[in-house]
Structure 1
Amino acid sequence: MTKQKAVIDIGTNTFHLLIANVDEQQNIDIIHKNTIAVKLGEGGVNKGHIADAAYKRGIDALVLFRKELSKHNIKEVKATATAAVRDASNGKEFIAEALEKAQIQITIIDGLKEAEYIYNGAKGAGVLNDKTSLIMDIGGGSVEFIICNQNQIFWKQSYQLGAARLLADYYQHENAIEKSTLENIHQHFSNTLINLFEAVKTQHPKKLIGTAGSFDSFATIIALKQQVLFNPETMKSFELNYPEIMNLLDEIIESTHQQRLAMQGLIPLRTDMILMAAILTQFIIKRTHIEEVITCTYSLKEGLILSDH
């Protein structure tokens, strides 16, 4: 039996609406989707507060989503909020206003629940098998790591290392990032991710699966350079050749803001976010010695739609 479901993923950078039919084999047939670059964390992600302009953009996006849901005669929607709302002093106020103005009831989920939904998404995309994999989902406010195979999660954790958060802390100019700043970021990663690397030593993941927007961008840029097809709307995954992804990460890390603006396949929202995502991705690949890297286009919202909530 096919079920129609609707979910909203309220992220630090983007809000996603997904309406789909889900069959008994957990296949997703998308009826309607919309992604809005709300930038809810802009101006406040490291201050524990949703800034006024970002707050308004967030409520406006949810009002628009309600109109789209109404067009499809959908009343019930599962809406979850992650780091930007979770960590904000005015997060409860935002949730109350979303209910009042958009008739959308938001549930705040913690990082571990977020990791579970991301795992469900990757599993639904068919990118997992019997081999142990490391999933990495780089959001704006947080990053989730999941060590798993198709049958189970062995270890999961969420860290406050999102691209918007790192950007606010470490990069406020348009030049290429300084070597000393890069060293400070690496030190921050080393101090923060101790238990991740302990888990990697124990579980020995053989494949890195990148979910969420930054990895879609990596795949899009590489596909354009190689003149091969990558369409995140229709493809569930894309293999990233190891030398190509490492070269691209170097190129992004060494680039200026203007050079990133000119990069084919990079959307304006990610012009600077991609810098922090590249620094983190390169750090993880080098520290884990994983050489098989793939992009998975399913992440939290698909995991949400495949779950029983």
Structure 2
Amino acid sequence: MRAAIIDMGTNTFHLLVANVVGAGYEILYRTSLPVKLGQGRINENILIPEAMQRGIAALKTFAATIEEYGATEIRATATSAVRSARNGREFVALVKNETGIEVKVISGDTEAQLIYQGVRLTGAIEGTSLIMDIGGGSVEFILCTADEVIWKKSYDIGAARLMQQFFHSDPLTAGEREAMRAHFVPLLEDLVAVCRAQQPQTLIGSAGAFETFIQLLAAQQGAALDLSQVAAADIDIEAYRVLSLSLQQATHAERASMKGMIPLRVDMIVVAALLTDYMLDQLNPGRLRLSTFDLKMGVLAAMLG
């Protein structure tokens, strides 16, 4: 079976095409397009017309690629921005009308489960671990072992939402950083409680911002990192801490000039760093890891025989 998997995230739309044979797979093609579906009014639970049109344009491009590869099974999932939007159903209908692609809007709980399945494919989960997936609209946390999910939850504190709420200065002021951190405390109280009970020793960042963290760290060492060849990798915690502080204190222009930075994450990386810092402070794990496999690979894992 040749499958096409579309992950319609709040910031980025992803396409993966793979051959699936029994319990095995071969990735034939993958790409991502910046869409910024949540831009404008995500905290009001509205998709603005310009963002929807960018989404449609990206999906038309994907549809042409899917046809070119002859994929017969298409799985398109929409996450936080669409599921929380009052006009989300209108957008899904528009997608079907304009592109022929049927979109399934998944719950936060399902999203977390699929992220776990994707990360598990890498073999990155050793012992009790906490997976963290920072999206534009939501953040998923999955407390797990390689054999089972112990606890999981999706929170509406994605980078696009936090930016609209707290990101008003260049660079972010100390007061804005503290306000964001204070925002996490009551919202993540249940997560922190279960982690203190279970004591995960590894924090695993699923793709997204964590790919940028490791690319920035590699660039500082003068190394080139091809993430298409990496399923999982360790991130030095102390080196990350230094990087995080520099990202928070830098201006937009200074971050944009950093080697390894991609344009879409120039500002959102600050929010991701603040949230990652908060979780490191709460968990004090012995290990920080990257998994380049995420939701779309979880969808693929669910299709394997």
Query: What TM-score, normalized to structure 2?
Result: 0.96
- Give the partner amino acid of 1:136: M
Residue 159, structure 1, aligned to residue 150, structure 2? no
Deviation at 1:25, TM superposition (A): 4.3
Q: State the match for 1:145 in structure 2.
A: 141
Q: State the match for 1:55 in structure 2.
A: 52
State the alpha-carbon separation in 2 of the partners of residues 45 and 134 from structure 1.
27
Deviation at 1:45, TM superposition (A): 1.1
Q: State the match for 1:168 in structure 2.
A: 164
State the alpha-carbon separation in 1 of the partners of residues 229 and 19 from structure 2.
16
Contact 1:95/1:106 (CA < 8 Å) preserved in 2? yes
State the alpha-carbon separation in 2 of the partners of residues 202 and 108 from structure 1.
33
Deviation at 1:229, TM superposition (A): 4.6
CA shift digits 1:249-271 (9 cap, x unpaired):
11111111111111110101000
- Give the partner amino acid of 1:300: L
State the alpha-carbon separation in 2 of the partners of residues 228 and 25 from structure 1.
35
State the alpha-carbon separation in 2 of the partners of residues 290 and 76 from structure 1.
40
Q: How do residues 66-85 of structure 1 correspond to structure 2 at under 5 angstroms?
A: 66-85=63-82
Residue 271, structure 1, aligned to residue 266, structure 2? yes
Q: State the match for 2:37 in structure 1.
A: 40
State the alpha-carbon separation in 2 of the partners of residues 17 and 36 from structure 1.
9
Deviation at 1:237, TM superposition (A): 1.4
Residue 297, structure 1, aligned to residue 292, structure 2? yes
CA shift digits 1:214-248 (9 cap, x unpaired):
00000100111123453211110121112111111
Give the secondary structure class of the aligned counterpart of 1:80. strand
Give the secondary structure class of the aligned counterpart of 2:42. coil
State the alpha-carbon separation in 1 of the partners of residues 199 and 272 from structure 2.
23
Q: State the match for 1:201 in structure 2.
A: 196
State the alpha-carbon separation in 2 of the partners of residues 133 and 229 from structure 1.
28
CA shift digits 1:92-126 (9 cap, x unpaired):
11101111111111011111100011001100111
Query: What TM-score, normalized to structure 1?
Result: 0.95
Contact 1:80/1:107 (CA < 8 Å) preserved in 2? yes
Q: State the match for 2:19 in structure 1.
A: 21
State the alpha-carbon separation in 2 of the partners of residues 229 and 63 from structure 1.
32
| Count, aligned residues | 304
Q: State the match for 1:112 in structure 2.
A: 109
State the alpha-carbon separation in 2 of the partners of residues 259 and 240 from structure 1.
23
State the alpha-carbon separation in 2 of the partners of residues 71 and 231 from structure 1.
26
Q: How do residues 274-285 of structure 1 correspond to structure 2 at under 5 angstroms?
A: 274-285=269-280
- Give the partner amino acid of 1:163: A
Gaps spanning 5+ residues in structure 1: where?
Answer: none
Q: State the match for 1:218 in structure 2.
A: 213
Aligned partner of 1:9 among 7, 10, 31:
7
Deviation at 1:23, TM superposition (A): 4.1
Gaps spanning 5+ residues in structure 2: where?
Answer: none
State the alpha-carbon separation in 2 of the partners of residues 151 and 75 from structure 1.
31
State the alpha-carbon separation in 2 of the partners of residues 25 and 206 from structure 1.
30
Aligned partner of 1:180 among 163, 175, 184:
175
Q: Decide which moves more: 198-207 or 28-37.
A: 28-37
Contact 1:16/1:36 (CA < 8 Å) preserved in 2? yes
Give the secondary structure class of the aligned counterpart of 1:233. helix
Q: Kindly, what percent of the aligned residue pairs are identical?
A: 37
- Give the partner amino acid of 1:301: K
Give the secondary structure class of the aligned counterpart of 2:7. strand
Q: State the match for 2:248 in structure 1.
A: 253
State the alpha-carbon separation in 2 of the partners of residues 231 and 220 from structure 1.
9
State the superposition RMSD in angstroms. 1.3
- Give the partner amino acid of 1:159: Y
